[in-house]
Amino acid sequence: MPDEPLELGEIAPSDYYIHRDTMAGVGFLTIARRLPSLIAQALRMAWTASPRDTVTTVSLSLLGGIVTAFGLLATTGVLTALFSEGPTPGRVLAALPSLLLVGAAAVVRTLLQAGAGWAEARLSPQIQRAAEQRLYSLTSRVELVAFDDPDFHDALERAEGRGASIAGSVVSAAVDVVTSLVGLAAAAGVLGLLHPLLLPLLLLAVLPDAWAAVRSARQRYSTMFGLGPARRRKWIISKLLADRGPAAEVRAFTMRHFLLRVYDAVARAEQEEMLKLVRRQTLTRLVGNALSGLGSAVVYVALGLLLAFGAIPLAVAGTAVLAIRSSQSSLSSLMYTTNGLYEQGLYFTDFLRFCADAERRLVPPRPLPAPEGFDRITAESLTFTYPGAEQPALREVSVEIKRGEIVAFVGENGSGKTTLSKILAGLYEPDTGTVRWDDTDLRQVSPDDLRLRTAVIAQDHTRWPLTARYNITMGTDKGEPALLSAAAVAGADEVVEGLPHGYRTLLDRRFKDGQELSGGQWQRIAVARGFHRDADLLICDEPTAALDARAEHALFERIRTHADGRTVLLITHRLASVRHADRIYVLEHGKVVEQGDHETLLALGGLYAELYTLQASAYR
Ligand SMILES: Nc1ncnc2c1ncn2[C@@H]1O[C@H](COP(=O)(O)OP(=O)(O)OP(=O)(O)O)[C@@H](O)[C@H]1O
Summarised one tens digit per residue, pLDDT across range 321-345 is 766 776 777 766 776 677 677 777 7
Which ligand 1 atom lies nearest to the CA of residue 573?
25
d(CA 433, CA 436): 10
Does residue 386 have its Cβ closer than 6 Å to ligand 1?
Answer: yes
392 lines ligand 1 (CB under 6 A): no
Q: Give the per-residue pLDDT at 287.
A: 93
Confidence of residue 19 (pLDDT cuts 50, 70, 90): very low
Say if residue 17's pLDDT is above 50.
no
Q: How far apart are CA 617 and CA 609, in angstroms?
A: 12
- Asked if residue 83 has its Cβ within 6 Å of ligand 1, the reply is no
418: CA distance to ligand 1 center in Å?
7
**Listed ranges 263-267, 395-399, 517-521, 547-551; the one with the highest mean pLDDT:** 395-399
Q: What is the pTM of this model?
A: 0.70
| Interatomic CA distance for residues 490 and 531, integer angstroms | 8
For the chain, domains (ranges, CATH) are 9-20+30-360 (1.20.1560.10), 376-617 (3.40.50.300)
pLDDT at 213: 74
- Is residue 416 in contact with ligand 1, taking CB distance under 6 Å? yes
Top mean-pLDDT range of 36-50, 376-390, 532-546:
376-390
Asked if 105 contacts 73 with a C-beta cutoff of 8 angstroms, the reply is no
Count of C-beta atoms within a 10 Å radius of residue 605:
10
What's residue 385's pLDDT? 94
Contact 419 CB / ligand 1 (< 6 Å): yes
Average pLDDT over residues 69-81: 74
Which atom, in ligand 1's list, is nearest to the CA of 419? 18
> In the chain, helix, strand, coil percent, each to 5?
70, 10, 20
Beta strands in 356-499 (DSSP E): 376-384, 394-402, 406-411, 432-437, 440-441, 454-457
Rounded Cα distance, 391 and 591, in Å: 12
What is the CA(419)–ligand 1 centre distance, in A? 6
pLDDT at residue 72 greater than cutoff 90:
no
Atom of ligand 1 nearest to the CA of 388: 4
Span 164-178, average pLDDT:
78
Where do runs of H (alpha helix) occur along 50-160?
A: 51-83, 88-139, 150-158
Residue 440: strand, helix, or coil: strand
Report the range out of 3-12, 20-29, 289-298, 582-591 with the highest average pLDDT. Answer: 582-591
The CA distances from residue 171 to 51, 112, 127, 161, in Å, are 13, 18, 9, 18
Whether 414 is in the pocket of ligand 1, judged by its Cβ within 6 Å, is yes
Which of 148, 151, 386 has most ligand 1 atoms within 8 Å of its beta carbon, as the pocket-test mutant? 386
Q: How far apart are CA 324 and CA 328, in angstroms?
A: 6
**Ligand 1 in contact with 149 (CB < 6 A)?**
no
- pLDDT at res. 586: 95
The tens digit of pLDDT for each residue in 469-497 reads 999 988 888 888 989 988 988 889 999 99
State yes or no: pLDDT of 11 exceeds 70: no
pLDDT at 434 over 90: yes
Give dist(CA 620, CA 617) in Å, integer. Answer: 5
Distance 602 CA to ligand 1 centre (A): 26
Q: pLDDT of 437-450, one tens digit each?
A: 988 898 888 888 88
* For the ranges 203-217, 310-324, 426-440, 543-557, the one whose mean pLDDT is highest: 426-440
